[in-house]
Homo-oligomer: A and B are copies of this chain.
Amino acid sequence: MRAFCKASAPGKAILFGEHFVVYGEPAIAVALNIRVKVTAYKSQSKFIEGFRTALVNKAIDAALKTVNSEDKNVHVKIESDLPVSVGLGSSAATASAIIAAVTGLFGVKLSKDELFNMALECEKTVHVNPSGIDPAVTVNGGAVLYQRGVGIKPVKLGEDFTLIIGNTGEGRSTGAMVEKVRIFAERRRDVMDGLRKTYSSTVLRALEALEKGDFEELGLLMNVNHGLLEALGVSNFKLNKLVYASREAGALGAKLTGGGGGGCMIALASKERLKSIAEVIMRAGGEPIIAPISKVGVVYEG
């Protein structure tokens, strides 16, 4: 058994498909190189830093079970650059990195499928009925396509790119937003059908743009997706302020990401514009993070 084992996992952003995914439409999510880093180690000390959440406990327990250990002296140190509870996938990233680090401590290297299944179980302590897209992205890296009842598959990226995240700093409740959309759709079936049809065309074109590395088109399609989410009523003043500030500063596209009603937006821009867009997001009252796509998922760091 090793003295310690380090592993890290990337965050994620939904590029296309929030809310529409609930109605059976495909969604695209990308891994972001904003990572959760976990060091697993053994210690008999009673003075362990940090406290354990249900998610952390479940991840450690699942990992120990996998390696057939009941060692109570295994601990983890978690360092994260990912803001929590804003739709950037910190739960799945944290769980995956813990599972990889703890099993690694016992010299076991899990397959991606094993990691995915275990991380998904852990996510259930935090999210009701999670789709699985978060653990899929964090474990595999890159971009993935997810559709309810169909599953998850990787998306080919013609070229790498970088997103600018804008955190509104406003609390959000994905559940409340999902319920708002449910009522909207129930009362106006025809309008919802039209929005879904439009979204469906948009996401298929986005897949093509991602494969080609056509970022102008990708940005425009992100704007279309944002408009559809507006129509559903899940955007708000501050999200829109950051979205439009980014566009006016030259972003190729900008949209809310995640459930809406607060949380984060994302902007796509050429390398030359990244910093200036981060600045306008800050001036508009948001917290910007420049986040390159992470081609890799969970990795062992030593």
Contacts from A to B (Cβ < 8 Å): 184, 188, 190-191, 193-195, 197-202, 205, 220, 223-233, 236-237, 240-241, 244-245, 247-248
- Interchain CA distance A23-B200 in the complex, whole Å: 21
- Interchain CA distance A56-B227 in the complex, whole Å: 40
Contacts of A184 in B (CB 8 A): 220
Asked whether A244 lies within 8 Å of B248 as measured between CB atoms, the reply is no
A242 nearest CB across to chain B (Å):
11
- Interchain CA distance A201-B184 in the complex, whole Å: 14
Select A227's contact among B200, B205, B229, B245, beta carbons within 8 Å. B229
Contacts of A197 in B (CB 8 A): 193-194, 197-198
Contacts of A247 in B (CB 8 A): 237
Which residue on B lies nearest to A246, using beta carbons? Answer: B237
Contacts of A228 in B (CB 8 A): 227, 231
- Interchain CA distance A194-B204 in the complex, whole Å: 13
Q: A197-B197, A198-B198, A231-B198 are in contact. Are A191 and B244 (CB under 8 A)?
A: no
Select A244's contact among B220, B231, B237, beta carbons within 8 Å. B237
Q: How many copies does the complex hold?
A: 2
Asked whether B220 lies within 8 Å of A233 as measured between CB atoms, the reply is yes
**Can you list 26 A-B contacts with CB-CB less than 8 angstroms, sorted by A residue number?**
A188-B201, A188-B205, A191-B198, A191-B201, A191-B205, A191-B224, A193-B197, A193-B201, A194-B194, A194-B198, A194-B199, A194-B202, A195-B198, A220-B233, A223-B233, A224-B233, A226-B230, A227-B228, A227-B229, A227-B231, A227-B232, A230-B230, A230-B231, A236-B244, A236-B248, A241-B244
A37 nearest CB across to chain B (Å):
38
A279 nearest CB across to chain B (Å):
16
Contacts of A188 in B (CB 8 A): 201, 205
Nearest first, the 5 A-B pairs at minimum CB distance are A227-B231, A194-B198, A227-B230, A190-B201, A237-B244
Contacts of A223 in B (CB 8 A): 230-231, 233
Which residue on B lies nearest to A237, using beta carbons? Answer: B244
Contacts of A194 in B (CB 8 A): 194-195, 197-202
Select A237's contact among B220, B237, B245, beta carbons within 8 Å. B245
Which residue on B lies nearest to A245, using beta carbons? Answer: B237
Contacts of A226 in B (CB 8 A): 230-231
A248 nearest CB across to chain B (Å):
5
A128 nearest CB across to chain B (Å):
27
A98 nearest CB across to chain B (Å):
40
- Interchain CA distance A245-B197 in the complex, whole Å: 30
A184 nearest CB across to chain B (Å):
8
- Interchain CA distance A220-B185 in the complex, whole Å: 12
Contacts of A201 in B (CB 8 A): 188, 190-191, 193-194
- Interchain CA distance A191-B203 in the complex, whole Å: 10
A147 nearest CB across to chain B (Å):
18
Contacts of A225 in B (CB 8 A): 231
